[in-house]
Amino acid sequence: MGTVESLLLGFSVALQPDVLWYAFLGCLVGTVVGVLPGIGPLSGISILLPATFGLDTTKSVVMLAGIYYGSQYGGSTTAILMRIPGEASSVMTCIDGYAMAQKGRAGAALCIAAVGSWVAGTFGVLMLTLIAPPLAAFALRFGPPEYTALLVLGLIFLAYMSSTSLPRTLLMACLGLLLGTIGIDSMTGHFRYSFDIAELGDGIGIVPVAVGLFGLGEILATPSANVVRDVIAPKLAQLLPNIDEWREAAMPIARGSILGFLVGLTPGSAHIISSFLSYGVERRLAKHPEEFGKGAVAGVAGPESANNAASTGAFVPMLALGLPTGPITAVLLAALMIHGVPPGPTLVNEHPDVFWGFVASMYVGNLMLLALNLPLVGVFVNVLRIPYAYLYPLVIMFCIIGVYEVNHSIVDVWIMLIMGLAGYLLRKFGLDPAPLVLGLVISPTLEMSLRQSLIMSNGNWTIFFQRGIALALLALCFALLALAALSLRRGRKDWRSRLAEAEAGDCAVE
């Protein structure tokens, strides 16, 4: 079946009224999640995961993915109207978006952000449609050594791209991998670190860890007294940008879409990194860079397009290879597995309705989000008026329900609380919890493929260097490590150091 026929099959699934409804629900929840500071897409997806148990695979994945890319749209609203990033990826939009709002151009900034997001999101899905199936076909050649090399490359790439230091990221990834070894060893049946707790025999779930670290951890680190909200109400009559603003936005949207999609393919917090990179690129290419920080249209159009394209790009390795590039795609993979659909290269051929239905739903979802985020912006602004003292108890309640309902296990909820406290401490000491979640997710696959590789080669570890694909992937690992070591040796600030500084508050990415 060709791409066009497959896509038509996808649309026949995605345009069913009930699938459309769940896509809309996901987009709506995603927008609200994006609008609200402190609740990320990961918490939103994790919390709503149990609510999808009664649905079929396509509907549940369509809804959960809608939350993810919907949150990228919603994040800009808070950034532009309050100078608070609803999402980490909206940090750069805060600068020029809020400056535009102060100049009375809030409506135009919101419109440019929404249209840029739509263009980038649709471009991303188009690329996903073209790239994912051939990549999946290529990945069918992968055996255990290739998967081992690919997973190691993923971790090293994540560490290299991270704005914190390489050892800190690898340390967190090791901790996640170690947590992933808890439970019964699937090859020998040994119990590992389960301390006679029956529930730990199945290992530690992704959901309690992710919700604890990102949901509860964020709440514990945010005292309600510190949350002060001053919302600029947009004038809906002024939603349309003028011709000059459209002209200034056009190229940044195009560049942001391409850059964001490419960055989205790589492991790590791609949607965050892409918006920082896009801001830096636009500033460098601008005829009047001094306007950045004072309401430059390109400072809104570029980053907002980039973060949306990146969130779509992240679906390529997830769908084609069954590999998560970050904690959000990891939870989406968990959702597929919970519904009995094994993710990986065989997904396209064995479950074409799920794969193509999901892809087609994203075309529709992006249109829905455009419709949601422009006329209804006033409604979403009202959500921001809920006092934080009322909002965070609500989130804690949903965290508990979300985690408990996955396995009806109270041990999982205790794990979430412990992880919440751990997340609080990690934030205090500047450690990023994302590599930990990624390590936890890939741990069983990495261990299994490593051991299978050694068994099939009768203990000959050079098997990783004897197979072309594995060798190429490992060569890339060494190259990245060498680059990181070189930058460390020179003691010079590279783009990653500048990104870290910008994330810490100084937003001058050049």
Partner 1 sequence: MIRADHAVGGALAALGLLVLALSGDLPIGTLSFPGAGMMPKLLASLLVVFGLLIAVRARESAPLADVSWQDLPHAMRVAAVTGVAIAFYQTLGFVVTMGLLLFVLIFGIERRHPVPAAAFSAGVVALTYVLFSIALKTPLEPGLLGF
Q: Is 320 helix (H, G, I), strand (E, B) or coil?
A: helix
Question: HEC string of 446-463?
Answer: HHHHHHHHHHHCCCCCCH
Rounded CA gap, 65 and 59, in Å? 10
170 counts as binding partner 1 under rule CB under 8 A: yes
- Our finding on whether 2 is near partner 1 (CB under 8 A) is no
Stretch that binds partner 1, among 121-129, 169-177, 268-276, 294-302 (CB under 8 A): 169-177
Select the residue interacting with partner 1 from 190, 235, 284, 493 (CB under 8 A): 190
User: Helices (H), strands (E): how many in the chain?
Assistant: 24, 2
Asked whether position 227 contacts partner 1 by CB under 8 A, the answer is no
For position 482 contacting partner 1 by CB under 8 A, the verdict is no
Q: Which is nearer to partner 1, 125 or 219 (CB)?
A: 219
* Token representation of residue 169: 């990221």
Give the residue, chosen from 197, 285, 455, 475, that forms a contact with partner 1 under the rule CB under 8 A: 455
Give strand pairing partners of 113.
Answer: none
Figure out which of the listed residues 18, 102, 130, 167 binds partner 1, where binding follows CB under 8 A. Answer: 167
Nearer residue to partner 1 within complex by CB, 52 or 89: 52
Supply the minimum distance, in Å, between the C-beta of residue 105 and partner 1: 36
Q: Which amino acid does the sequence have at 432?
A: D
Q: Rule CB under 8 A: is residue 383 a binding residue for partner 1?
A: no
Span near partner 1 by CB under 8 A; candidates 26-34, 301-309, 337-345, 445-453: 445-453
Kindly state the tokens that stand for 321. 């290879």
Pick the stretch among 243-251, 285-293, 316-324, 394-402 that binds partner 1 (CB under 8 A): 394-402
Classify each residue of 164-187 as buried b or exposed e, where b means 16 or more C-beta atoms within 10 Å of its C-beta.
bbbebbbbbbebbbebbebbeeee
CB of 488 to partner 1, least distance (A): 10
Q: Is 207 or 450 the residue whose CB approaches partner 1 more closely?
A: 450
**Residues 68, 328: contact at Cβ < 8 Å?**
yes
Nearer to partner 1, 336 or 431 (CB): 431
Cα separation, 185 vs 319, whole angstroms: 27
Residue 9 CB coordination number (10 Å): 17
In the list 131, 258, 454, 469, the residue contacting partner 1 (rule: CB under 8 A) is 454
Beta-bridge partner residues of 192: 183
Q: Which is nearer to partner 1, 246 or 404 (CB)?
A: 404
Residue 504 interacts with partner 1 (CB under 8 A): yes or no: no
- What six digits make up the tokens of 196? 């006679």
Task: Determine the length of the chain.
Answer: 510
Task: Give the helix ranges, DSSP H, for 314-456.
Answer: 315-321, 327-338, 347-350, 352-373, 377-383, 388-407, 410-428, 434-456
Residue 431 as a binder of partner 1 (CB under 8 A): the answer is yes
For residue 183, which phi and psi values (nearest 5 degrees)?
Answer: 115, -170
Q: CB of 430: closest distance to partner 1 in angstroms?
A: 7
List 442, 450, 474, 502, residue binding partner 1 (CB under 8 A): 450
Measured from the CB atom, is 193 or 478 closer to partner 1? Answer: 193
**Shortest distance, position 361 Cβ to partner 1, whole Å:** 19
Asked if residues 312 and 264 have their Cβ atoms less than 8 Å apart, the reply is yes
Please, is 54 exposed, middle or buried when counting C-beta atoms within 10 Å of its C-beta (0-12, 13-18, 19+)?
Answer: exposed
Alpha-carbon torsion 488, 491, 496, 501, what sign?
Answer: positive
List the one residue from 2, 458, 492, 505 that touches partner 1 (CB under 8 A): 458
Nearest Cα neighbor of 173 from 273, 265, 88, 267 is: 267
The minimum distance between CB 7 and partner 1, in angstroms, equals 30
Binding piece for partner 1, criterion CB under 8 A, among 123-131, 132-140, 255-263, 428-436? 428-436
Q: Which of 397, 475, 483, 508 binds partner 1 (CB under 8 A)?
A: 397
Q: Binding to partner 1 by residue 171, rule CB under 8 A?
A: yes
Indicate which single residue of 2, 4, 17, 54 sits in contact with partner 1 (rule: CB under 8 A): 54
Q: What angle do CA 202, 206, 211 make, to 5 degrees?
A: 130
Candidates 89-97, 247-255, 413-421, 477-485; binding stretch for partner 1 (CB under 8 A): 413-421
338 binds partner 1 (CB under 8 A): no
Q: Are 327 and 40 in contact (CB under 8 A)?
A: no
Question: Does 50 interact with partner 1 (rule: CB under 8 A)?
Answer: yes
368 CB-side CA count, 13 A: 26
> Which amino acid type is present at position 367?
L
Q: Is the dihedral of CA 80, 82, 88, 94 positive or negative?
A: positive
User: Is residue 44 helix, strand or coil?
Assistant: helix
| Beta-bridge partners for 191 | 184
CB of 253 or CB of 442, closer to partner 1? 442
- Residues from 345 through 374 that contact partner 1 (CB under 8 A): none
Name which position in 192, 235, 284, 493 contacts partner 1 (CB under 8 A): 192
Minimal distance, residue 508 CB to partner 1, in Å? 21
Q: List interacting residues with partner 1 (CB under 8 A).
A: 50-51, 53-54, 165, 167-168, 170-171, 174-175, 177-178, 181, 185, 187-188, 190, 192-193, 216, 219-226, 387, 389-390, 392-394, 396-398, 400-401, 404-405, 408, 410, 413-414, 417, 420-421, 424, 428-431, 447, 450-451, 454-455, 458-461
